[in-house]
Structure 1
């Protein structure tokens, strides 16, 4: 009888422990805060200096560490992306505000910015992403190939399936192929910035290489899977566009 009781208690502990572990994993997410800045190009040098000082002072480490990028392609060329993270919503309650942070942003950043837009939070799909090889300072892969996707209303159920197919393919391709998926946390109305995939690159020359994505896709997902994949993508996404971002270590405060 005692053995049965002990056995039952052990089972309860094991199950309870598993539940706690699963819940902890669900909470351990990766998210970034992102803001797009349109700089006043007549005062760009001052903005670069002030941004560097601001990030060195208030965004040097931890969840509040800043990363600054220049958009190099597309209609947003010339704009700057300021990111902070990786973080969680709980971190936002303790984000830098006092000690001169807000005043410094107001007095030394905003006067040299024409417009702020796209204040967003992007949560990473850790399961499907392939980024274990990346460092924390973007030294090895300073270029980001961003692809934004707009999901057709009522077709969201296809997203996970499609990205699982893509993820398996990317992970099966030769080389490192750092690639990740991010979901926009808040509704965007007609802006359509629902999902972003991110490919990290060492240099522009990587775009000249033939990655054999299609052939690898067919090997991983089945020889006849390609056409169905293309049709499913067209049904699921109404629009997509690309941007190349270039990491600015100096403005980031490095």
Structure 2
């Protein structure tokens, strides 16, 4: 059932401290390559990232979406970083010209940009790990019931941290949502073997073990009232196209 309820953007890729006065944001750019120019696109984006996005807060990773309506598209991811970092975002000489010359001509006019707020207190990164696969699960919130939905996340986090303490996962909310695309909230699992997806789902039982008898049914009732549906995607890390390595540093804790 957990797979059905929490099937998503986005991704803590650097050390993030819960003590910071600003919250971290992740920039996701979905790119559709021209199907007749895949080789040229991948060559261009790989060279661009390794030259301009290979270190620090402005480093970038690329993922390939392997299912759903966005299958075959690429997700360009930068962050997490605070909004204030956007004001000082470096524009190395030739950055925009390089993108416009060596990447953009090989793409389709189907781009999409999202900014996701990462919630460290609701997420868990207990150890360093290497990225390989991401299960990205996105939920659409019912208008004017967002707060009621968000209040349930503490319950989910309590179960995850009690029963899945060694698994890395993140929770995110869309900073600029709309009522049409169904991407208001995201839950992301990070794993390195596809067998992860075939495990028995014990989340309902685990939920009641943490919150008490009949708590799962009550939780589902609130979810039914506050969400319109969900979509899930499997993202595969493309190290060859990325500026950053697959290494993710565990979140710094107080």
TM-score, scaled to structure 2:
0.84
1:235 aligns with 2:225: yes
User: Equivalent residue for 2:102?
Assistant: 108
The question of whether the paired residues in 2 share the 8 Å contact of 1:173 and 1:211 is answered with no
Match of 2:93 in 1: 99
1:71 aligns with 2:61: no
Could you tell me how far 1:211 is from its partner in structure 2? Answer: 4.1
Instruction: Tell me: CA distance 1:117–1:186, structure 2 relative to 1, closer, same or farther (3 Å).
Output: same
SS of match in other structure, 2:71: coil
Q: Indicate the residue corresponding to 1:57 in structure 2.
A: 51
Residues 6-59 of structure 1, C-alpha deviations (whole Å, 9 max, x = no match):
xxxxxxxxxxxxxxxxxx936242211111001112211121111111011110
Structure 1 partner of 2:193: 203
Q: Greater relative contact order: 1 or 2 (C-alpha under 8 angstroms, separation 6 or more)?
A: 2
What is the RMSD of the two structures over their aligned residues, measured on CA atoms?
A: 1.7
* 1:153 alignment partner, SS class: coil
In 1: Cα distance, 2:164 partner to 2:173 partner? 27
- Residue 174 and residue 41 in structure 1: after superposition, are their counterparts in 2 closer, same or farther (change >3 A)? same
**Where in structure 1 are there 5+ consecutive unaligned residues?**
1-23
Question: How far apart are 1:148 and its partner, in Å?
Answer: 0.8
Any residues of structure 2 matched to 1:171-250 within 5 Å, and which?
A: 171-174=161-164, 176-250=166-240
Alignment size in residue pairs:
227
Distance 2:236 2:150 in 1: 29
Contact 2:30 2:112 in 1 (8 A): yes
Does the aligned pair in 2 maintain the 1:39–1:115 contact within 8 Å?
no
Deviation string 1:78-108 (CA, Å, 9 cap, x unpaired) is 0000011121112112223340000000000
Q: Specify which structure has the higher proportion of helix.
A: 1
Match of 1:90 in 2: 84
* Displacement over 6 Å in runs of 4+: none
